[in-house]
Amino acid sequence: MTQGKVRAILHIDMDAYFVSVELLTRPELKGKQIIVGHPGERSVVLSASYECRALGVKSAMPMSIAMRMAPHAIVIEPSQGLYSMYSAKIMEIFREVTPLVEQLSVDEAFLDVTGSIRRLGPPEKIGQMIRARLRSELGLPASVGIAASKFVAKVASTGAKPDGMLVIRPEQTLAYLHTLPVGALWGVGAKTETVLREMGVTTVAQLAQTPQNTLSRRLGATGVHLHNLAWGLDDREVETEREEKSIGAEETFAIDLWDEDELRREILHLAHRVGARLRAAGKVAGVVALKLRYADFSTFSRSRTLPVPSNGATELVAAAEGLLEKLGPRPQAVRLVGIRAEKLGDAGGGMQLSIDPREEHWRQTEVTMDLIRSRFPAGALRPASLLDHGQKEKKPEQGS
């Protein structure tokens, strides 16, 4: 913490991020009910427009339930590579404001702007400037919470949605927190909330007045942590070295899959998705992991170290297919397949040029494909063997 100064922390959360990115290439759909996800009863909602959220649709909700709530919603297949590309641009804007950026996900970050105030003005001016740049340069809306700690800044950004900004000054912190339900605190999931409700605690104010040892007896270390949050105590620093440890993609099939050729086509599709995300993040993978989940939900994973770290789909496919063979004959139909790139490094320093001209040709082709996808809707360009890919119903697993 900066000595003698109250920190100024921004929590910036892009609004309905996947939907907002899709609308950049589909402006005619603005104001309509939009769901991003794969159609099919076994799919889940990845993101929903605020028009759908007003009807009760939420992220991670089964698509079958979402479509009953919003039967007229337009379902858009996700463009994972596009989301990663815009995420990199968003984080670049943040880092031009301050080097103290902690990226939490593709569309969310903490910024410590304490050291930027002298140059750029008060925190609220910085927040407005960032929101304006995201709008003018990328066409994307964002909500900003500003406070003296990470926890309160995140709570404030939630209160600012959609497309707003909320400043909680240090002297306002407790008054604001104590108006909230206990579920607003980090660490209060469904089980913890049930325990607290049994104790007669439903608000942050009630939690703050509950003796810490009482909470500790019922919830262990979590109780102490929640008691501190209820009093606005959170001295965690913005962690600038927080990076993704892996990048992956998974697909769950609507109908369990037996066909070996179809399975290999799916691996090819996933490898291109993972490769695009690696390149957008400026990363290369040192290890490739393959996961198969069978019809009975048994799951098997294998991994392989690449001879040279890479972000090319060709190398990812070769490794994944080798792992598929290592798993041996399929004992039953496949419900899910996934590829994950691990042991990530920076592309600038971790990648060797190949002496095989064919590999360099494919690498350049994939970079060109990334550029074309950035200007046109995802799915406009793909390997010839995947031209009819996507007609089968499937969904990405949560976290892919």
pLDDT digits (tens, 9 = 90+) for 318-342: 999 999 998 888 888 898 899 999 9
Q: How far apart, in whole angstroms, are the C-alpha atoms of residue 248 and residue 399?
A: 9
Does 241 reside within a domain? Answer: no
- Count of the separate structural domains present in the chain: 3
41 and 186 housed in the same domain:
no
* Strand locations in 24-91 (E): 34-36, 47-48, 74-76
Closest by CA position to 105, among listed 211, 175, 1, 11: 11
Domain ends where: 186, 205, 230? 230
User: In whole angstroms, what is the distance from residue 109 CA to residue 149 CA?
Assistant: 13
State the amino acid at position 276 in one-letter form: A
Look at residue 119 and give its three-state secondary structure: helix
Provide the pLDDT for residue 155. 94
Of 60, 61, 79, 72, the residue nearest 34 (C-alpha): 72
Q: How far is CA 51 from CA 29, 64, 77, 355, in A?
A: 11, 18, 18, 53
pLDDT band at 355 (very low <50, low <70, confident <90, very high): very low
CATH number where 301 lies: 3.30.1490.100
186 residue type, one letter:
W
Which is more confident, 120 or 363? 120
Task: Tell me: do 150 and 53 sit in the same domain.
Answer: yes
CATH number reported for the structural domain that contains residue 5 in this entry: 3.30.70.270
Q: At residue 44, does pLDDT exceed 90?
A: no
**13 annotated to a ligand binding site:** yes
108 is catalytic: yes
Range of the domain at 113: 1-167
Residues paired with 293 in a beta bridge:
299, 336
Compute CA 338 distance to the chain's CA centroid, rounded to the nearest angstrom: 17
Among the candidates 144, 167, 190, a domain finishes at: 167
Least confident of 3-7, 166-170, 376-380: 376-380
**Are residues 19 and 89 both part of a single domain?**
yes
The answer as to whether 305 is a domain residue is: yes
Across 35-52, average pLDDT: 87
- pLDDT tens for 190-248 read 889 999 999 999 999 999 999 999 999 998 888 898 999 999 998 889 988 655 678 98
Is residue 126 within 8 Å of 113, Cβ to Cβ? yes
Sheet containing 34-36, strands listed edge to edge, beginning at the edge strand earlier in sequence: 47-48, 34-36, 74-76
Could you tell me if residue 341 is inside a domain?
yes
Q: Which is catalytic among the residues 51, 102, 108, 315? A: 108
Instruction: Please report the pLDDT score of residue 363 as a whole number.
Output: 53
How many CB atoms neighbour CB 363 within 10 A?
21
Is 161 domain-assigned? yes
Across the range 269-291, mean pLDDT stands at 90
